[in-house]
Amino acid sequence: MRLALLADIHANRLALEACLEHAQARGAERLVFLGDYVGYGAQPNEVLERIQAEVSRGAIAVAGNHDQAVADEQESMTTDAETAMAWTRGQLGREAREFLASLPLRFEDGPRLYVHASPQTYPPWLYIREGRDARRALEASRAQMVFCGHTHVPALHGITATGQLVSFKPVPAVPIPLPIHRRWLTVVGSVGQPRDGHPGAAYAMLDTASSELTHFRVAYDIQATATSILQAGLPRALAARLRKGF
């Protein structure tokens, strides 16, 4: 089965649609959403409608820190994120809030674990930025494969039978075999706000039959998305960063 794994969409409708279309063309049979559907971007309702529709068709979705922040005003955030979150709260209706509140924090799918940030308990929402973080995260879980987002930077970490850690920066569109007797943690990157210096929307696909993982970067209309952020009166920096991918 081919799974498309998408994280950190952040109210970016065009990026989400571009990734879903891309994944569909490559035979995705199941969608897995790894959290942070809202925040930063200007289309939270459109994005949530699409996610809800996909979930009703069998997609899996877990909650992220921005999704939790809609109901929980105690979540700590940067100034721009806080500004965008305050705006987002004003945009969302009851149905959207209920959908967000209903999302689980983790989902176990056979040997795979789907979480937003890391398998460790929250708060705090931990960032898996380097090998050490990945090691702690894998030690906190028994799943053979962990999939997460949160850092907005695609990465692959593996832990071997002898306890060594392999960290790797995935190359877009190059399938990586994940031997099943090793343990892996994949950060899929961000659909709606990439931060690794590349503006293309990021997501990953796993072929469970061949145990091959492929990261993708997808072009979407950044110009139109940036304009919608400015028109909503959100901080200019949130529009500018989309073009640079940071």
Partner 1 sequence: MPQTAIAPGTNLDGFLVGERIHQGGMASLWTASHPGFDFPLLVKAPVLSEGTDPAAIVGFEMEQMILPRLSGPHVPRFIATGSTGFQPYLVMERIPGPSLLPMLTRLPLACPEVAALGARIATALDDLHRQRVVHLDVKPSNLLTRPTGEMVLIDYGLSHHEELPDLMGEEFRLPYGTAPYMAPEQVLGLRRDPRSDQFALGVLLYFFLTGVRPFGDPQRLSGLKRRIWRDPVPPRRLRPDCPPWLQEIILRCLEVHPAWRYPTAAHLALALRHPDQVKLTARSEKLRQDPFTTVLRRRFADRELALPGGKTPSRSDGDAPILAVAVDLSPEAAPIAGILRSMVAHMLPALPGARVACLNVFKLGRITLDEQVDAEGRNRHLQRLVELRHWAEPLGLEEGRISFHVLQSPDPAGAILQYVNANHVDHVVIGARASSLRRTLLGSVSSQVAAQAPCTVTVVRARRLRGADFKDEPEDKGEGTWTVG
CB nearer to partner 1: pick between 155 and 238: 155
Dihedral pair phi/psi, residue 11, rounded to 5°: 55, 35
H or E element in which residue 56 lies: helix 44-56
Interface with partner 1 includes 168 (CB under 8 A)?
yes
Considering only the stretches 26-34, 134-142, 154-162, 200-208, report the one whose residues sit in contact with partner 1 under the rule CB under 8 A: 154-162
Please spell the DSSP secondary structure of 187-240, one letter per residue. Answer: E---SSS--SS--SEEEEEEETTTTEEEEEEE---HHHHHHHHHHTT--HHHHH
Q: Pick the piece of the chain touching partner 1 (CB under 8 A) from 30-38, 50-58, 95-103, 156-164.
A: 156-164
Per CB under 8 A, does 160 bind partner 1? Answer: yes
In the complex, least distance from residue 181 CB atom to partner 1, rounded to whole angstroms: 9
Q: Tell me if 166 contacts partner 1 by CB under 8 A.
A: yes
Structure-block tokens of residue 82: 């806080």
- Cβ distance to partner 1 smaller for residue 122 or 168: 168
Helix (H) or strand (E) holding 165: strand 165-168
- Please identify which residue in the block is written with the tokens 């989309």: 242
Query: Contact between 174 and partner 1 (CB under 8 A)?
Result: yes
Nearer to partner 1, 48 or 204 (CB): 204
231 binds partner 1 (CB under 8 A): no
Task: Quickly count: other Cβ atoms within 10 Å of residue 9's Cβ.
Answer: 34
Positions 100 through 139 that interact with partner 1 (CB under 8 A): none
| 68 or 186: CB nearest partner 1 | 186
DSSP result, 40-51: SSS-HHHHHHHH
Contact residues toward partner 1 (CB under 8 A) are 156, 158, 160-162, 164-168, 171, 174, 176-177, 179
